[in-house]
Amino acid sequence: MLRRLRETADTWTLELEPPRQGFEFAPGQFTMLYAFGAGEVPISISGDPARPERLVHTVRAVGPTTRAICSARRGESLVVRGPFGSTWPVEAAEGGDLVVVAGGIGLAPLRPVLYAALARREAFTRIVLLYGARMPDQLLYTAELERLRTQGIEIFLTVDQADEQWRGAVGVVTTLIPRARLDPGRTVAFVCGPEIMMRFTSSSLVQAGIAPERLHVSLERNMKCALGHCGRCQFGPHYICGDGAVFDYPAVEHLLTVPEL
Amino acid sequence: MQTLDEIVASAPIFAELHQDDLLTIAGCSRTAQFAEGEYVFREGQQADVFYLLRRGAVALETFAPGRGPLRLATVHEGEILGWSWLFAPYRWHFDARALESTRAVAFDGECLRGKCDEDHDLGYELMQRFAQIMVSRLQATRFQLLDVYGNGRG
């Protein structure tokens, strides 16, 4: 552990120093993070894929394992397995508009996409981020988002609840879709957040004219081996750990409404 | 600078309406401006107008004793504010307050209701379009009520 940065009341970004050769990964991948004596959980990598010398995760402390991980101090060690999983097809958006729609901590697995796209800014006509959170103090990376805005990302923010101190938009993240004035024929969209949010958002994007095959979502389920053996993360015919977490929307659209899954 | 006729003709809510209908609607409109913090309308007041926001943003709020104004949603450039003009008793259900300097086109609801009574085809078109707005806002509000970020799973 090199650095721990508090993002919100229950969320921290951790910077880890990997072994000498660095930690190569692609946007969308995750690791299994293990805190000694506490356990292991899958956490998406939230750093810059062009900087393998730093392994960055944004972790929300919601249980004993994640609380232990978020409590790690500078100099302490965490065990990392990975990277695992499929990747956001950033190249599919080249020549057109890349639209990233995030809800809550769902921005963490999508931040590497923004870094990767900015590294090749000329390959995209527009890079758009639509981001919603419950309340203003739960928005992630707020200072960095302002910097990314100056570097060519169009950023639309909204919160579900706010007091009169908040001067921005109030409403769910789907209300940002018409405001972004997307060109459906040129848009490739990546969506990540609570699964209900992803269902509503994907439906709204399709209603806005974006073809389902141009949508991609990142799913999560309880996970154990992350190697496609234990079946703990099975989602219909798919294993989240191997076939996902990033899926083409048509591959999972019909599964998202099956309560038993 | 665009004329009211041009603004109405280019507004998405009025897309594909017959030219005569567009002129009728524009004939019931005027420009409006609101300073930051100014109330566009107040809860309980007569609702005989709706707005197409041209620039700025408006917050929909309700006031709670001891808590002050509670913000429900915001309406932004290009969006429609207000549908209470369509349904008796034609009263606003919430406060609407400009979050920044806001310019809008205001449509006289009583004037349009009269036109719709005379021309049911126009009435049907407007009812369909406002129904779509209401459905979208209802769906968004239901989504908002779910509080999906508050369940600990982020």
Q: Which CATH architecture has domain A3-84?
A: Beta Barrel (2.40)
Is B78's Cβ below 8 Å from some Cβ in A?
Answer: yes
Contacts of B152 (CB under 8 A, 6+ apart): A62
- Say what the pLDDT of residue A221 is: 85
Among partner residues B76, B78, B149, which is closest to A169 by beta-carbon distance? B76
In this predicted structure, the answer to whether residue B153 has a pLDDT above a threshold of 80 is: no
In this predicted structure, the answer to whether residue A223 has a pLDDT above a threshold of 90 is: no
Question: B72 vs chain A: nearest CA distance in angstroms?
Answer: 7
Tell me what the pLDDT averaged over chain A comes to: 95
Among partner residues A160, A163, A167, which is closest to B149 by beta-carbon distance? A160
Among partner residues A60, A169, A171, which is closest to B144 by beta-carbon distance? A171
- A90-218: CATH topology: Rossmann fold (3.40.50)
- How does pLDDT run across B99-140, given as a tens digit for each residue? 999 999 999 999 999 999 999 999 999 999 999 999 999 999
Task: Parse chain A into domains and list their residue ranges.
Answer: 3-84, 90-218
Task: Parse chain B into domains and list their residue ranges.
Answer: 4-146
Contacts of A236 (CB under 8 A, 6+ apart): A252, A255, A258, A261
- Say what the pLDDT of residue B154 is: 36
Give the confidence band of A194 by pLDDT, cuts at 50, 70, 90: very high
Give the confidence band of B67 by pLDDT, cuts at 50, 70, 90: confident
- Say what the pLDDT of residue A257 is: 86
Test B71 with A104 for CB contact under 8 angstroms.
no
CA distances, B112 to each of A133, A168, B53, B135 (Å): 39, 32, 18, 21
Q: Which CATH architecture has domain B4-146?
A: Sandwich (2.60)
In this predicted structure, the answer to whether residue A116 has a pLDDT above a threshold of 60 is: yes
Question: B68 vs chain A: nearest CA distance in angstroms?
Answer: 9
Number of H helices, E strands in chain A: 7, 15
Contacts of A37 (CB under 8 A, 6+ apart): A68
Test B153 with A194 for CB contact under 8 angstroms.
yes
Please give the Cα distance from A103 to A118 (Å, whole number): 21
- How does pLDDT run across A134-157, given as a tens digit for each residue? 999 999 999 999 999 999 999 999
Chain B interface test: which of A11, A161, A173, A201 (most B C-beta within 10 Å): A161
Q: Of A200, A242, A203, which is closest to residue A221 (Cα–Cα)?
A: A242
Tokens (6 digits) for A160: 């579900």
* Nearest residue of chain A to residue B70 (CA atoms): A163
pTM of the entire predicted model: 0.93
Chain A interface test: which of B143, B147, B151, B153 (most A C-beta within 10 Å): B143
Test B146 with A196 for CB contact under 8 angstroms.
yes
- How does pLDDT run across A1-59, given as a tens digit for each residue? 999 999 999 999 999 999 888 999 999 999 999 999 999 999 999 999 999 999 999 99
